[in-house]
Amino acid sequence: MGSHGPGLTLACCLLLAFTCGPVLGRAPRGPQEQEEQEGTKEPLLDHAERVEDKHEKYSPRQGEERPASRCYRCCDPGAPVYPAIPVPQINITILKGEKGDRGDRGLQGKYGKTGSVGARGHVGPKGQKGSMGAPGDRCKNHYAAFSVGRKKPLHSNDYYQAVIFDTEFVNLYGHFNMFTGKFYCYVPGIYFFSLNVHTWNQKETYLHIMKNGEEVVILYAQVSDRSIMQTQSLMLELQDQDEVWVRLYKGERENAIFSDEFDTYITFSGYLVKHAAEP
């Protein structure tokens, strides 16, 4: 077995002694030993007799109190019944104090991020027809118009002359002054003006339509062997108190306009096209 033989034999002997030792200790005794054991052995009692004997052994005598530190099993007869201890109840209303004062308002928090636009909702049902409203204000219309004429001829001289008209066809609200020969604007807006004259043969015709002392347009006709009708028209935007009139040029040359008492050859007209307050 080599060098491991003695060690292996010793290990087997120890294992056999450890296994068979308790069995050998329980070997049956001889007849003499059994008789001596039976002579000293107490008779076997059943379970009920052992329980009663045990209770009599540990139960206190009459007139004696049970020791306070005794323990009892639930199956023991005459075990003391302890009353159930009620759970203490706490009145919450007694512990609750009075309501305190309102605290100061806290600082405003930061604004949150703007949320996305929600989906468009469903179209709601059509509402009932409303009642008729109160009548509105009367429509405000603005008017301004005039038309005048001259039956007398006019010759130039050494200074400018305002053409004065002697015949009134239309003069709404009197905005055209027949004494000064000027139209005064009382309704701001856009106006249309027209000037018609009859030239004089062998004489020059030279006039201006004026606005507040400024020459706006000219009406001109050259010298001719015969007389003709000449016209000029325009539109002007006027403000309140603006003036529009006709001026005859001064006499550097022979300058005149023709008319007579039987017919009206010279006319000057104007009217409001659009009021300034209208959109």
Q: For residue 210, what pLDDT is reported?
A: 95
* Number of Cβ within a 10 Å radius of residue 215: 11
Across the chain, mean pLDDT equals: 78
DSSP 69: T
Please tell me the class of the 145-275 domain: mainly beta
- 270 - beta bridge partners? 146, 193
Q: For residue 1, what pLDDT is reported?
A: 47
pLDDT band at 167 (very low <50, low <70, confident <90, very high): very high
The CA-based angle 227-230-232, given to 5 degrees, is 165
Q: Indicate the SS3 state at residue 174.
A: helix
Q: Are 196 and 231 in contact (CB under 8 A)?
A: yes
Tokens of 174: 């009197």
- Res 162 pLDDT > 60: yes
Q: pLDDT above 90 covers what percent of the chain? A: 31
pLDDT band at 27 (very low <50, low <70, confident <90, very high): very low
**What does the DSSP assignment read for 52-63?**
HHHHHHHSPPTT
β pairing state of 205-211 and 243-248:
antiparallel
Q: Which residue has the higher pLDDT, 69 or 253?
A: 253
Residues 195-249 have pLDDT tens digits of 999 988 888 888 999 999 899 999 988 888 888 899 999 999 999 999 999 999 8
Nearest to 170 by CA among 188, 183, 189: 183
Give the burial class of 209: count Cβ atoms within 10 A of its Cβ; 0-12 exposed, 13-18 middle, 19 or more buried: buried
Instruction: Please state the pTM of the whole predicted model.
Output: 0.51
The domains of the chain are located at: 145-275
